[in-house]
Amino acid sequence: EAEGSRKEAQSVAEKGKMKLELANRLTSALGSEKVRWGEGIERLRIERTLLVGDCLLSSAFISYIGPFTKSYREKLMDETLCPLLSAPPVGAPIPMTEDIETIGIMCSDAEIAEYQTQGLPSDRVSAENS
């Protein structure tokens, strides 16, 4: 009977040791996740401050710039729209992503790839027009 109690106690101790080891591994893994999540939160905070400007620029692109050639689109973006938002003649500047790619606001890389598998040419202007 004493031998059975001893084996049972050893078994319980081993299980406890294994649980403690697993808990330590989980704690260290979660520690690195905390850093990653913190970085993600900071990135999202920055993106949130730029979202209005990015959306304004993208909607202006869709509404007014679509019919033009690639070179004229770039000129309008670089010389007219971006300066107008970042240094308006009246009011405060509207923050936006530096060197914004409007295509990234309008659709994802996966959507562009899907369009291309359906026959869309792989040039940038075609992707912007889609």
Domain extents in the chain? 2-129
Query: Please, are residues 130 and 114 in contact by the beta-carbon 8 Å criterion?
Result: no
pLDDT digits (tens, 9 = 90+) for 61-99: 888 888 888 899 889 989 998 999 888 889 999 999 888
What's the pLDDT at 54? 92
Read off the pTM: 0.65
pLDDT digits (tens, 9 = 90+) for 30-72: 888 888 889 999 999 999 999 999 999 989 888 888 888 889 9
> Quick one: DSSP state of residue 91?
S
What is the number of other CB atoms lying within 10 angstroms of the CB of residue 61? 20
The tokens of 69 are what? 């050639």
Query: Please, are residues 106 and 44 in contact by the beta-carbon 8 Å criterion?
Result: no
Instruction: Taking residues 117-121, report their average pLDDT.
Output: 88
How far out from the chain centre does Cα 62 lie?
22
Q: With H, G, I as helix, E, B as strand and everything else as coil, classify residue 66.
A: coil
When pLDDT is cut at 50, 70 and 90, the band that residue 10 belongs to is: confident
Class of domain 2-129 (CATH, top level)? mainly alpha
pLDDT digits (tens, 9 = 90+) for 103-114: 878 888 898 889
